[in-house]
Amino acid sequence: MQGEVIYIYDTTMRDGRQGESVDFSINDMLLLTRVLDDFGVDYIEGGWPASNPKDKTFFEEVRKIELKHAKIAAFGSTRHAKNKVQEDMNIQELINANTPVVTIFGKSWDLHVHKVFNISLEKNLEMIYDSIAYLKDKGKEVIYDAEHFFDGFKDNPDYALKTLEAAVRGGADNITLADTNGGTLPSEVREIMAKVREVIKAPLGIHAHNDSELAVANSIEAVQNGAILVQGTINGFGERCGNANLISIIPSLVLKMGKKLNGITEENLKKLRDISVFVYDLANLMPNERQPFVGSSAFAHKGGVHVNAVQKDPRTYEHIPPEKVGNVRRILISEQSGKSNIVEKIKNMPGLADLVSNESLMKSVLNRIKELENEGYSFESAEASFDLLVRELVGRKEEFFDCVSFTVNIIKNQNDFVNDALVKVKVGNEIEITADEGDGPVNALDKALRKALAKFFPKISELKLVDYKVRIINPKEGSAAKIRVLTEFEYDHSTFMTIGVSENIIDASFQAIRDAFNYFLMKVSEKD
């Protein structure tokens, strides 16, 4: 490690996996390794081989993968105070992992030395030196994580620096300063980094946690003050409030600071959104729609004034072009929309771009949107329903099926409920009548309608309902209040939302499901 080049160190599979509700199978970890390697990440931390069998298995399996760029790192701690380094089980497991890189952490804060290790300050320095020197003697590239360094420095700067000096004497290739509790401010990072650089000449890195929502800022501040290695996780996964989010750090370094990364090119940044979504999928978590750079709302514009300005020059309300990070600009439709929103939205709808020059037509569409919003509809998220509505208003909506009627029954049977639905659909000149049961009335209706349509449109089975939201619009009306239902469906790794509004929750649900099926069939027909 040298020069002005910045190295990216990913710890999603170890530190990120410590986050609540985050876990990966061995296969997930191997898939993620390939993705990160292809992206250009320099170091991929695979886990702690001494802590659990899964991580040991990963290191055995990852050796079978031919990587293009990344180095695999095994993670562990300095030797135990009672052990000789060559007899320490944790150190031996790091060697047995057979990785080119080993990352070990040691204590920088005298509080931890006294109260957690219950040893002398000098003994801790010996443990740091012995562990690193032994691993270097075994031919490993060693990254030393100075745990709790910033808190330790604030309490006892002389001793915190001595721990780094011990790591330097041991031969550490990089010394990464960790804000383990996540409570340090960017100004403190700047000041402390400057003092460290006066004493420590080895390459420095940063490992920040997000407990004060400053992990990204602290990482960038560290780079501005000499750090050449940045540790973090995809989407900021990690213990408590998470780790520094590489999805935000990487484009900030490249696009805003003009930094050269060792493996990630500006062209590779176009993969950023796909990588973010991929990792959410691996963890079985919903993506954060408001996540900077890659979230679906990151470049979404709602107010008419904003949209009008963006049409003239996107820089007016966008800090970077969304395409640079694999994202897209989105124009939202709501009661706050102006004609600019409608025009921009319709301009990007297949087969409708020619309509935007018709001002009277655009005005009528806008007026109808506002009428429906007043009735409780909200097209801001339900873009699929908006698409179908516009096509209906301009006479270009294709009707793939007509639901002639449906019946939903809820039967109390002893201590349980039986929910079934009967639907009658017409496709062309054919009538199909189908029934099915479900976990609830809406699920039964969804299954019955899907079964009826499968005879005519087999691909309907590819459409998955992934979210269902219900909201009371006018709660003061009590049981007669209007219900708004939003459904989110997924197919071919993309999602869309539809809406239904009614005093009857079943009817509102049916409207949203019907729109979803029609929208899906329209998209499939466009591909065919």
CATH at 37: 3.20.20.70
206-221 pLDDT, tens per residue? Answer: 999 999 999 999 999 9
Residue length of the chain: 528
> Both 174 and 73 in a single domain?
yes
Residue 274 belongs to some domain of the structure: no
Residue with tokens 């691993």: 135
Dihedral of alpha carbons 112, 114, 118, 121, sign = positive
Number of domains in the chain: 3
84-110 pLDDT, tens per residue? Answer: 999 999 999 999 999 999 999 999 999
Residue 1 belongs to some domain of the structure: no
Please check the confidence at residue 204 and state whether its pLDDT lies above 90: yes
The token duo for 207 is: 């490992």
**337 or 131, higher pLDDT:** 131
- Please state, in angstroms and as integers, the Cα–Cα distance from residue 417 to each residue in 205, 413, 438, 510, following that order: 59, 6, 10, 20
Q: What is the span of the domain harbouring residue 34?
A: 7-264
Q: 312 Cβ partners below 8 Å, 6+ apart?
A: none
> Both 387 and 459 in a single domain?
no
Q: How far apart are CA 110 and CA 130, in angstroms?
A: 19
| 147 and 175 Cβ atoms separated by less than 8 Å | no
Which pLDDT band holds residue 399 (cuts at 50, 70, 90)?
confident
Which pLDDT band holds residue 369 (cuts at 50, 70, 90)?
confident
Write down the mean pLDDT value for the chain.
Answer: 91
pTM: 0.73
The domain that contains 407 carries what CATH number? Answer: 3.30.160.270
> Both 171 and 68 in a single domain?
yes
What pLDDT was estimated at residue 335? 54
> Both 406 and 377 in a single domain?
no
> Both 435 and 386 in a single domain?
no
Residue 379 belongs to some domain of the structure: yes
> Both 89 and 163 in a single domain?
yes
> Both 443 and 324 in a single domain?
no
Q: 236 Cβ partners below 8 Å, 6+ apart?
A: 210, 215, 242, 243, 244, 245, 247, 248
| 121 and 160 Cβ atoms separated by less than 8 Å | no
472-507 pLDDT, tens per residue? Answer: 876 666 656 788 898 999 888 788 889 999 989 999
Name the domain boundary from 393, 418, 450. Answer: 393
164-175 pLDDT, tens per residue? Answer: 999 999 999 999
> Both 223 and 371 in a single domain?
no
> Both 492 and 387 in a single domain?
no
Q: How far apart are CA 405 and CA 422, in angstroms?
A: 8
Tell me 281's DSSP state.
H
